Structure 1
Amino acid sequence: MTHPSEQRDPGAHAGGPAATRQRGLSTAEVAERVGRGQVNDVPARSSRSVREIVQANVFTRFNAIIGVLFAIILVVGPIQDGLFGLVIVANTAIGIIQEIRAKRTLDSLALIGEARPAVRRDGQAIQIPVSQIVLDETVLLAIGDKVVVDGEVIEEDGLEVDESLLTGEPDPVLKQPGDQVMSGSFVVAGAGAFTATKVGREAYAAQLAEQASRFTLVKSELRSGIDTILRYVTYLLIPTAIGLVISQWAVRGNDWREAVRRTVAGIVPMVPEGLVLLTSVAFAIGVIRLGRKQCLVQELPAIEGLARVDTVCLDKTGTLTEGGMDVRELRPLAPEPADEATLRQALGVLASADARPNASMQAVIDAFGEGGPERERWLLLEAMPFSSARKWSGAQLLEPGGGEGSWLLGAPDVLLPEGHPALEQVDELGAQGLRVLLLGRSPVPLDAPDPAKDLQPLALVVLEQRVRADAADTLRYFEQQRVEAKVISGDSAVSVGAVAASLALPGAEHPVDARTLPADPPALADTAERTTVFGRVTPQQKRLLVGALQSRGHTVAMTGDGVNDVLALKDADIGVAMGSGSDATRAVAQIVLLDDRFATLPMVVAEGRRVIGNIERVAGLFLVKTVYAVLLALLVVFTQLPYPFLPRHSTLLSSLTIGIPAFFLALAPNQERAQPGFVRRVLRLAVPCGLIAGTATFTSYALARANHATDLKADTSVATLTLFLVALWVLAIVARPYTWWRLLLIAAMAGAFALVLLIPWLSDFFQLNLAGYRDPWTGVAIALVAGLLLEVSWRFVRRGFPATAEQPAEPRPMPR
């Protein structure tokens, strides 16, 4: 194909270096460089590999514990006692499927956005994959092309490059031969070519991405809390298992299979396997809900992390502002202000004459580009597009009255002489972060050496960056939720402050230029805490500011879309990337806003709070089971009685009093603010309730054994009935405050247990048989007494230990 740059190849002649550039590298030269390893071989990595994902989800402490017990049941049988093993499959599958789904979405995004640059080889312009570019390659550039490696410009035809993704500076940069171009930038005007001077990991964008390439998991208090519980449960398992094996073997005599089954039945309830599964399910459902809002969550616990955030660092470009500008005001200039209608018509004709309008000119087109009868009376004779070198655009126009003149639109300080009165207005507007263009008319022809000579200034065109329509509401949401927003941008501090002030962000009236930030870490942390808006921030400074806030105990989220945001995104507690941003930002971020809507963040926070609040609500159910299981095991060991349950009984009780109701409770709306201390608060309810449940169950079981020691099935049935009633009472406590569906849920669980007792094949499957009246009613009476104790315990815990008590976060060391 013929690349646009090939149509205008300046400076080429028959011999010398220019001829070499004209032809580019030969096939032999390319092969030589490939052999030396001088090729752009940066590996594409958007997330963990499939192998790493599978390993991380399969090889867990939870799977190891339950897997060993399940394998034992497979040996001794019957299979119905191994129903608990299905939790392994469900929990592992949810984690693997969700993370692979996110990985594939990101990979497809990276593939769609992958550039295929045009290079010159053997005198021909060809398109090749980015990974095949070699050192000294002649890479061609045209409008819209991405600069994929670092290089030196060798040809240009009005070449202007946008480096905002690298520096945060929104203005395009005019490039001349000998200037450097960096990977991660892209062409917004003109054409040209450059020689690749750095490829692979040596390129600027690749170096930033390399520092952020190590995959790290989101810090999750829920996950770490559950892991802590599992770790201590593991410590209890070994001595308890040994004690149970010995006691059950002594009780059952030579029936070693029954002894093993009873031992496994005693160990399985100690492991809060349902809590691990429920956490994965709740996160997965949250991810699906957010996915419908075009929000990709790469790691399940990320929504929990954002719900705990108290500081959000925002990049102005692409987050608060969109990629365009708007005309704020057309201000005619004295002493003889022109007719505003005439000015609007002239601006419309002038802007429409630019075949490649930049953001400023596009704003003029949007504001004044509509045609009409008066507009059609203007005749375009000649046009000169905007150039960053001359800082203005122009058009030779035949006006409706028959006059002819050159109309110029550009930088006031270039078009006006020093000291002109209009420049005072320009400076005042510039101090507000606004961009100002001057519209003037000159009698000098457009092709004259100085068309701006004798220019008559007619009006100021005041432009402002296009602020996202939802940005103000989103900032208000964070303010209401006591989440502090800080704007960190590579643009000028005045401009950033003006945008933030237009959104009524508290503290925006005092922006700080990052070039004046102190180097001393404590002083930097002080400045970071008290300042809201930062401008002229380098990528390394963004990282230091995030670390400074973290060193003061803040949980920090960082949003961004450019390569300059990569390091800060990675160091932040939660990184949020825009879907249209660079590949590197999407790779290191935990959350990707596919539609670039900043307004999605409140939904992520709300979803995270729903997940955290509800999981904390139901976690007590699972830990109650752990506590009563440990107590029952110890009582059985000391009294040398057969363990009262088989694994199938534990599965039935866990499903009806914990697993199924917890699933529905975890999906309920919940806007409680996330607080630290998850394990501590949960244990306040779980320990006393578990002790009451275990004591009540063993009491009814021991009384039944005393009445008919030979009928273990009947004794087990009484113990199962008592434990179900006490556990159902705990469920009724956790489900408060009551709604109609929560009451219906509790009633449904009670009805399901009644069906198991009444339907013969179900009672046979679960080996339940309530013989007589005395023992079952004794069990019910004991359960009622236990229920009253639960109420007293719950009221005491709630009054004496408020669950909303907030503990100060531990400060973290700052990166240097």
Structure 2
Amino acid sequence: MTVFCSDKTGTLTEGLVRLKAACDIAGNPSERVLLYGALNASFETGFHNPIDEAIRTARSFDLSPYRKLDEEPYDFVRKRLSVLVATPTTHLLVTKGALANMLAVCSTAETADGTLVELAAVRDAILLQMAQWSGQGLRVLGLASREMGAREGMTKDDEADMTFLGFLVFEDPIKTDVVETIGRLKSLGVTLKIVTGDNRLVAAHVGQAIGLSNGNLLTGEDLRQMSDEALVSRVNDVHVFAEVEPNQKERIILALKKAGHVVGYGGDGINDASALHAADVGVSVESAVDVAKEAADIVLLEKDLGILVEGVQEGRRTFANTLKYVFMATSANFGNMFSMAGASLFLPFLPLLPKQILLTNLLTDVPEMTIAGDRVDEELIDRPRRWNIAFIRKFMLTFGLVSSIFDYITFGVLLLVFQAGVEEFRTGWFVESVISASVIVLVVRTRRPFTRSRPSRGLLVATLAVVGLTLLLPYTPLRGPLGFVPLPPLFLAALLCIVVGYVVAAEVAKKVFYRHVLY
């Protein structure tokens, strides 16, 4: 994963939304605005959300004189929520929502003394007040009402000619450790991008506070006017996307993928489902709605970027260890095949019996099975890597040929120096093949010199155990059924020299290989 996109609420912030103020159009505290906000939040029956919860818990009102008649739930197009309430004197439509969307359905505004004025006369002052709060990172909603006479029901069309009453101002503090966490992600080669429905000023403030904002910010309106090709060219340089609609989140994800990124997306709402599907790695949380959890690839138990950092690191360890196994298995199998095929051309007997080949595979698999828990060098975790078949093929050819060269050296020593018979040849090659394949795991598992990278205890113990067992087999009662014979001490000394030479040659080949083949 090279890019992770996330909303700010609960991920970058504490997620504990609190109603900081309920104010009239002049920005002064207003009991009327607080009461009407409580009516709207208390009578709505849509999905649970922290905004309404914050309003309900800010002040306890006696709402027994009021009765809910109808409701028009929030949606991501209107960005408003309306409730029709029967009051002791009339039926009242109370609406709250994003400020711009609220102003769009209002024709008048109410001052502190209850006087109604034309909205046009105070619009600039309202927007200025909102900008001041938003610049402090506070979220601002608008509140409006309309007298509905004796009507018992309502529709979306009734959200018109309303009276703007004031502001509901919310705060959600930034997490104290989020800057450090973002730094850790950056050190791992993962860029964080904020994708939020909040207004541009709030998003810009949060981005700047956590060190993301570079002056480049795109809004939902900008995205509507931008072609897909233009978005792909801009998406790398923009770290904050604000006032974004649900379908635009998916578009941002797709643009990042077209720009060559592996994209993660974190979301917990209904409106995040399409983006979670589109992302390479969809991440949700246990407290998310069911749709989001079903769309996600990973569900976290806590909404915390720190957990994501640990997940990235563990994923890369797993990937690195998987590659180790692939490198070892492919190069060893290729080398053995090349050696077996070559030996069969000039030997009048099978170089190894089928049961000896199976035993070779069984023993050499023991150290490789411990690779899953092996230690991983820091340089293999510090940046994202992708599956590269071409690199694996080059690795297999390089180290497979090095393995075969020392197999042929072993053949020469057995046939020309020790004049080995059939059973001695098979025993000698079996011992050399298993020991060299087991020891070379310690070399191939790291890009560093093998003496500077400590393997896991399990790998080291398994390697030593296999080497010891292989040396003992020709001297145990099992040698008969397996077709082995005891080896002379001089061959064991020669074997030590061959294995040491193989390790040295593999170290040299590794240094040259990684210098010329990048991954």
Same fold (TM over 0.5): yes
Q: Where does residue 470 of structure 2 map in the other structure? A: 753
Question: Which of the numbers 426, 440, 446 marks the counterpart of 1:730?
Answer: 440
Query: Which of 43, 48, 54 is matched with 1:363 structurally?
Result: 54
Q: Distance in 1 between matches of 2:406 and 2:253?
A: 53
The within-5 A match list for 1:419-498 is 423=126, 424-430=128-134, 432=137, 434-435=139-140, 462-465=169-172, 474-498=181-205
- Distance in 1 (CA, whole Å) between partners of 2:232 and 2:225 is 9
- The match for 2:155 is none
Cα contact 1:433–1:498 (8 A) shared by 2 = no
Counterpart among 352, 361, 367 of residue 661 in structure 1: 367
CA–CA separation in structure 2 for the residues paired with 1:393 and 1:430: 33
Task: Please tell me the residue identity of whatever aligns with 1:712.
Answer: V
**Contact 1:332–1:460, Cα closer than 8 Å, also in 2:** yes
- Per mean C-alpha deviation after superposition, the further-off stretch among 586-595 and 636-645 is 586-595
**C-alpha contact (below 8 Å) 1:559/1:575 kept by paired residues:** yes
SS at the partner of 1:435? strand
Query: Retained in 2: the 8 A contact 1:321–1:466?
Result: yes
**Does the C-alpha gap of structure 1 residues 586 and 353 become closer, same or farther in structure 2, counting only changes over 3 Å?**
closer
Counterpart Cα distance in 1 of 2:50 and 2:504: 71
Instruction: Report matched runs for 1:169-188 at 5 Å.
Output: none
Q: Contact between 1:576 and 1:591, CA under 8 Å: does it hold in 2?
A: yes
> Deviation string for 1:83-141 (max 9, x for gaps)?
xxxxxxxxxxxxxxxxxxxxxxxxxxxxxxxxxxxxxxxxxxxxxxxxxxxxxxxxxxx
Q: Does 1:506 align with 2:213?
A: yes
Query: What is the deviation of 1:660?
Result: 2.4
Q: Corresponding residue for 2:19?
A: 327
Asked whether the equivalents of residues 314 and 560 of structure 1 are also in contact (C-alpha less than 8 Å), the reply is yes
CA distance in 2: counterparts of 1:576 and 1:596, whole angstroms: 10
Residues 765 and 680 from structure 1, CA distance in 2 versus in 1: closer, same or farther, beyond 3 angstroms?
farther
Whether 1:786 aligns to 2:502 is yes
- In the alignment, what sits opposite 2:402? 692
Deviations 1:405-461 (A, max 9, x none): xxx9989985434457984534532565522689xxxxxxxxxxxxxxxxxx9x976
User: Contact conserved, 1:546 with 1:572, CA < 8 A, in 2?
Assistant: yes
Task: Please state whether the residue corresponding to 1:760 is helix, strand or coil.
Answer: coil
Does 2:351 align with 1:644? yes
For structure 1, the 5+ residue unaligned runs are 1-308, 370-378, 397-407, 439-456, 807-816
Q: CA deviation at 1:609?
A: 0.7
Aligned residue for 2:426?
Answer: 716
For the 8 Å contact 1:380–1:395, the answer to whether it is kept is no
* SS of aligned partner of 1:506: coil
Distance of aligned partners of 1:632 and 1:488 in 2 relative to their CA distance in 1, 3 Å threshold: same
Asked if structure 2 preserves the Cα contact closer than 8 Å seen for 1:617 and 1:734, the reply is: yes
> For residue 39 of structure 1, what is the aligned residue in structure 2?
none
Deviation at 1:667, TM superposition (A): 1.5
Shift of the 326–476 alpha-carbon distance from structure 1 to 2, 3 Å rule, reads farther
CA contact under 8 A between 1:314 and 1:487: conserved in structure 2? yes
**Larger deviation: 383-392 or 531-540?**
383-392
Change (3 A) 1:538 1:521: same
Could you tell me which amino acid in structure 2 is paired with residue 770 of structure 1?
A: P
The AA in structure 2 aligned to 1:646 is: L
Give ranges in structure 2 of 5+ residues lacking alignment.
Answer: 72-80, 104-108, 144-164
Q: Which of 605, 608, 626 is 2:312 aligned to?
A: 605
Matched residue of 1:643: which SS? coil
TM-score using structure 1 length: 0.46
Q: Which residue of 1 aligns with 2:329?
A: 622
**1:674 — aligned with what?**
384
Confirm or deny: 8 A CA contact 2:216 2:238 kept in the other structure. no
Equivalents in 2 of 1:480, 1:571: separation in Å? 25
- How far off its partner does 1:526 sit? 2.0
1:328 & 1:795 partners in 2: Cα distance? 61
Distance (whole Å) between structure 2 residues aligned to residue 637 and residue 709 of structure 1: 18
Match of 2:234 among 527, 531, 535: 527
Are positions 1:314 and 2:30 aligned together? no
1:286-316 CA-to-partner distances (Å, cap 9, x unmatched) read xxxxxxxxxxxxxxxxxxxxxxx11122245
Q: Quick check: 1:353–1:383 contact (8 Å CA) kept in 2? A: no
Structure 1 Cα separation of the partners of residues 420 and 131 of structure 2: 98
Q: 1:329-369, CA deviations, whole angstroms, 9 ceiling, x for partnerless residues? A: 6889999x99xxxx99x979x96998658844532554566
Are the counterparts in 2 of residues 649 and 720 from structure 1 also a CA contact under 8 Å?
Answer: yes
Give 1:706 shift.
6.5
* Shift of residue 593, structure 1, vs aligned partner: 3.1
1:761-813 deviations in whole A, cap 9, x for unaligned?
Answer: 3x345332224445554444444443443343334334x336xx45xxxxxxx
CA shift for structure 1 position 748: 3.0
Partner of 1:635: 342
Contact 2:189 2:384 in 1 (8 A): no
The Cα shift of 1:573 comes to 2.4
Give 1:273's aligned residue: none
> Matched residue of 1:733: which SS?
helix
Letter matched to residue 665 of structure 1: I
CA distance in 2, matches of 1:531, 1:363: 32
Structure 1 distance, partners of 2:238, 2:40, is 44
Distance 2:63 2:273 in 1: 48
- Distance in 2 (alpha carbons) for counterparts of 1:381 and 1:575: 42
Secondary structure of 2:217's counterpart equals coil
Do the aligned partners of residues 545 and 382 (structure 1) sit closer, same or farther apart at CA in structure 2, a change above 3 Å counting? closer
Shift of 1:718: 0.8
Paired residues for 1:81-230 under 5 Å: none
CA contact (8 A) 1:508 1:533 kept: no
Amino acid at match of 1:769: V
State the partner residue of 1:179.
none
1:635 positional shift: 0.9
Aligned to 1:137: none
Distance 2:433 2:423 in 1: 15
SS of the residue 1:475 aligns to: helix
- 2: CA distance, partners of 1:395 / 1:483: 57
Rounded to whole Å, the distance in 1 between the matches of 2:197 and 2:310 is 28
Deviation, 1:610, is 0.4
What CA RMSD, in Å, does the superposition of the two structures yield over aligned residues?
4.7
Q: CA deviation at 1:523?
A: 1.4
Q: Residue 801 in 1 paired to residue 516 in 2?
A: yes
